[in-house]
Structure 1
């Protein structure tokens, strides 16, 4: 750790080191969860429809609880909120182990547990977003986010592999128990993070919700980008999750294995860029960020124009790198420009606006891919993605947003 701390100043900060260890274990465990849960559902009912019901229950509860998750994370100690969510997730996994071992598991039980897990995630995500600025100095925010992104992107590879190996070697119940134990370890490590007591909220829960909304809508750069991402995420997830596998399966020049390579290339692009951004600072936050994320339009277009493995993998790598530029720039902008006392609430509005149209996108592209020609559909989708992403730069507050000097950032947080 000393060698890493010398290379990465953010690791010299004790509280962040414990938070980083906790989040790393939690992230790897979280990436194992979809694999273990999917095998659990298919063990009960070997039907894609059953898996869809469970996933929908989890996603639906997540969206429903996001705003209240932001309020609670600003109202109570964020470390405590995160620890509680980790313990709830551990309880969900260990309850499922008991149900499977006793032969009592059903799709209904899985859906109910999925809903509890989705709700816990809705409280955990805003708390995490609001906690990081309390742990690191302002000048280290980008490095902290890049380091966390490196772990998250790496876990995208490692987590599913570990989950699959555990299921194959230990069996489903023991694999789920290991997954649940990872949440317990993460909660224990988070206890080492020492923060001053949180100030008691002077307003009601719904009053705080209104305060978060007022903070959100008062910043044009914020709501413009969130509005854009409501469209961008619907397009990207709709194409990448629904149409992409269909194209791959029916195109011998790509195929299922080729599609796996393409998805891996995208994740590698994000991983590599997260390493680069530990050292290279972004100054023009949203100009660089929105230009970076617009690069996702390239693989979307190429999927329709020339769906071959190698060029599509290269394009996905570039798109993944651009996505990471935006992700880091956006996180730093939020942490610098939003007062810490309302950061979790504002983050919950951000997440809600960005995620809410994703189910619409998946349903719409599923329908369109079955009723229109896929090639022109993807060309139009990729073109719309680029237009929407780059059009945000027509807004002066988006185009001109830069890093704040340390003194100014401290005043904004006061």
Structure 2
């Protein structure tokens, strides 16, 4: 039974600022959760909220976990994940990253209590390895091209670029990166809701020769009609991200035929358990999936990695957070662009609890 939950509001130092269409981050605020059973088994979870995507702030997520969600877990069975999510949803609507922070810790606990890696609990290995891209923040076309070239030289075979500030400049960014990396390297483009319908169609039309794998969430999350029109006219695949948080959103996308692909994020869905439902629904619709990242630490990253490797409908992933931090809360191993998963129980990582305390701004304990 669960006897204690600790919540740490921490900030991780980035190697360089992370810049996308709607935010500039100099460090990454995160909420880490530590759940302990009456037998002393410990599970770790993480929330990386995004007020522009999930409607949660760093501070609000901390308080929701502390006052609303964590108390529901005291004396609960960690394996009662369906019942626990039902309790969460009856207590408070939304707040998916707050729920994910506890959900991930539950799966880490379940793995450790059974001596199994998380992927074995949710389907086993559907893939032999996880190849990750390198994600490039918004900069000048020249700077992005230089970054992309260096990443390819270091062994990355997939480059994803952030755009969405100005359509004409974004066209220059896409062209510059493609020229820098050559024709063999895969290129993905993410506007993070930064364009309107006409801008999107212009960018796609003028970068057709760049052979982009897909354009991700080009328009506002709510505008599925525009997304549908773009998909109907685009020669390239369209991926929905911010437009889908849960199975109800995905039903709408599938019925409208508004996207070719789905980006699943644990912070949007509420954790591994609801993300599995999204993957199953997408599979029924023959919609390939990606497990995306909110730039989580090793904890959230490995949770996403276990999900990604366990489902055949999940074709790609962006488990890149640990590559972006000066120092992480646990060690994650990459061999060039391959993320290594161990066969250790749970998430398969050893969290540096002393370092967690060093980077924590405020914390609490629930018993």
Which TM-score band applies after superposition, normalised by the shorter structure? under 0.3
Higher helix fraction (1 or 2): 1
Q: TM-score, normalised by structure 2?
A: 0.26
Q: TM-score, normalised by structure 1?
A: 0.23
Higher strand fraction (1 or 2): 2
